[in-house]
Amino acid sequence: GDSVTQMEGPVTLSEEAFLTINCTYTATGYPSLFWYVQYPGEGLQLLLKATKADDKGSNKGFEATYRKETTSFHLEKGSVQVSDSAVYFCALKRAGGTSYGKLTFGQGTILTVHP
Amino acid sequence: DAGVTQSPTHLIKTRGQQVTLRCSPKSGHDTVSWYQQALGQGPQFIFQYYEEEERQRGNFPDRFSGHQFPNYSSELNVNALLLGDSALYLCASSSPGVNEQFFGPGTRLTVL
């Protein structure tokens, strides 16, 4: 079945440091890939997405590139802020382009950014 | 434009009881999915509703059931609650032909 694996966490960085959170997936076909963020006590917010190989999703300084050859979708940000402290989830969904189908999530990576 | 709303925010029940959680999708969305997020874990898919029918289901027992109403809102029902049902229950909605899901704030269920 489909699965998503995220790097072991938590991740602790100083403000303005470079961030990478690794994500690899297993799925048949060509799933859509997503990064969601969850702030304390809240639901999930879509951060960015990519729907086909070599697509780059970007939002709020975060980027991730859909790499079919390595089945990866690593999240990066050049300079993190304290306000980026949250839990980040990588997810995939088959049946791209329709509302049908479930999201399959990784286990999440806790990011803490210190001033 | 209101996003996805869920009620109640928090709920405390005892083992063996039954619970109903509610979700109103984002305006214009017709598909509702439910997820269970245990503490420290990623969300797990429970089921998805479209046109008032369950059209996909995850690996959850029959104690978990749902319903979708003509206005697209949805309920999640859990019978015979177990301690292990304690979790954050998330509702997500999506619009026709779009593969993004938008999440509500969740309902925190505690089973004692």
Are A32 and B41 an interchain contact pair (Cβ–Cβ within 8 Å)?
A: no
Structure tokens at A83: 């306000």
pLDDT at A40: 86
End-to-end CA distance of chain B: give it in Å, rounded.
37
Q: With an 8 Å Cβ cutoff, is B35 touching chain A?
A: yes
Are A99 and B42 an interchain contact pair (Cβ–Cβ within 8 Å)?
A: no
pLDDT at A99: 63
Are B43 and A44 an interchain contact pair (Cβ–Cβ within 8 Å)?
A: yes
pLDDT at A95: 66
pLDDT in tens, chain A (115 residues): 889 999 878 999 999 999 999 999 999 888 999 999 999 888 899 999 999 899 999 999 999 999 999 999 999 999 999 999 999 999 999 865 566 778 999 999 999 999 9
Residues A95, A85: Cα–Cα separation, whole Å = 32
pLDDT at A7: 81
- Residue ranges for chain B with pLDDT beneath 50: none
Residues A35, A49: Cα–Cα separation, whole Å = 6
pLDDT at A56: 97
Query: What sections of B3-112 are H helices per DSSP?
Result: none
Interface of B with A in 57-96 (CB under 8 A): 58, 90, 92, 94-96
Over residues B91-104, the pLDDT tens digits come to 999 987 777 899 99
Alpha-carbon gap: A88 to the closest alpha carbon of chain B (Å): 10
Are B95 and A99 an interchain contact pair (Cβ–Cβ within 8 Å)?
A: yes
pLDDT at A94: 84
Q: With an 8 Å Cβ cutoff, is A98 touching chain B?
A: yes
Torsion of CA B60, B61, B62, B68, to 10 degrees: -20
Which residues fall within 8 angstroms of residue A1, CB to CB, at 6 or more apart?
none
